[in-house]
Amino acid sequence: MGMKIFGVIGDPIEHSMSPAMHNDLFQYYQVDAIYHKFRVEKDQLKEAIDGIRGLKISGVNVTIPHKVNIIPYLDDIEEIAREIGAVNTVVNNKGKLVGYNTDGLGFIEALKPLIKLPLSQSKILLIGAGGAARAIYFTLAYTGVKDIDICNRTKETADYLIQHCKYNANSNSLSIPEAENCLEKYDIIINTTSVGMHPNIDKSPLSLKNIKLDTLVSDIIYNPLLSTFLKDAKNKGATVQNGVGMFVYQGALAFEKWTGISPDTKRMENIVLDKLGGNTIC
């Protein structure tokens, strides 16, 4: 058995932090493997998947714009990834390509060390109803969390998400102003939108004026590390978390599927923060 090859497929891919993170782990755990970034254009996905098979690449991460479109080309999809309708991790199991989604579970694993109440007893508000919200919402509901409301600029999209979740959560959809008026109800508030991401760093998806003191406020954005949304939360005395944790844990769960090793996430976080230190404008 020679050196195994892993990678990430996407476009653009130049600034992906996954190669640094996984190559460090392969070295640290003495796994004979290497992780490459592969720029795969939107209309070349089929050829890329054939390449994975033909070259016996052992596994890949999948990012924009392929997470949804890759599904028909895979041999098997785990249940939660099928429900989410997106794959971020592929395992080549002796020629059979199996798709997983570790984004939602990665988010939850990253959040766990900071929660005050068990998630099953927490009242959660999700902001946004796009792809990232879908992964987080479905995975929370899948793991048995019941109290999750969704607010979105377009309220109907939040309704759609709630209606299409096959796992039982007690969810209401809210407009942004409706949510702003009842924020004291929530123990955990999560921004899943890109509002506030570089270069629009002064924007925030919603006003946190009405949160209670011990709220946990999480933003999946990591550029900047401290978004305006998190800054506002901090000023209100909330505990805050940025998107580095989710990125690290989605990678850790992928690494575990490929190698069976549950990696040192602190080590991964240091690599990511080191990378972000260079190009984060905040």
Work out how close the CB of 26 gets to ligand ATR at its nearest, in angstroms, rounded to a whole number.
29
Would residue 46 show up in a list of annotated catalytic residues for this protein? no
Q: Which is nearer to ligand ATR, 31 or 133 (CB)?
A: 133
Q: Which strands, in side-by-side order, build the sheet including 239-241?
A: 173-174, 148-151, 124-127, 188-191, 216-219, 239-241
CB 110 within 8 A of CB 248: yes
Binding residues for ligand ATR (CB under 6 A):
128-133, 152-154, 157, 192-195, 205
* Residue from 4, 42, 46, 67 carrying the catalytic annotation: 67
Q: Which is nearer to ligand ATR, 52 or 81 (CB)?
A: 81
CB 265 within 8 A of CB 214: no
Q: Which is nearer to ligand ATR, 111 or 271 (CB)?
A: 111
Q: In the complex, which residue's CB is closest to ligand ATR? A: 130
Helices (H) and strands (E) in the chain, counts: 10, 12
Work out how close the CB of 181 gets to ligand ATR at its nearest, in angstroms, rounded to a whole number.
17
Work out how close the CB of 229 gets to ligand ATR at its nearest, in angstroms, rounded to a whole number.
12
Work out how close the CB of 155 gets to ligand ATR at its nearest, in angstroms, rounded to a whole number.
8
Q: And the tokens for 234?
A: 């901090």
Q: How far is CA 276 from the centre of its chain?
A: 17
Q: Which is nearer to ligand ATR, 52 or 208 (CB)?
A: 208
What is the rounded distance in angstroms from the CA atom of residue 37 to the CA atom of residue 40?
Answer: 9
Three-state secondary structure call for residue 193: coil
Cα–Cα distances (Å) from 129 to 32, 77, 144, 145, 260, in that order, read 40, 23, 20, 18, 33
**Catalytic machinery residues:** 67
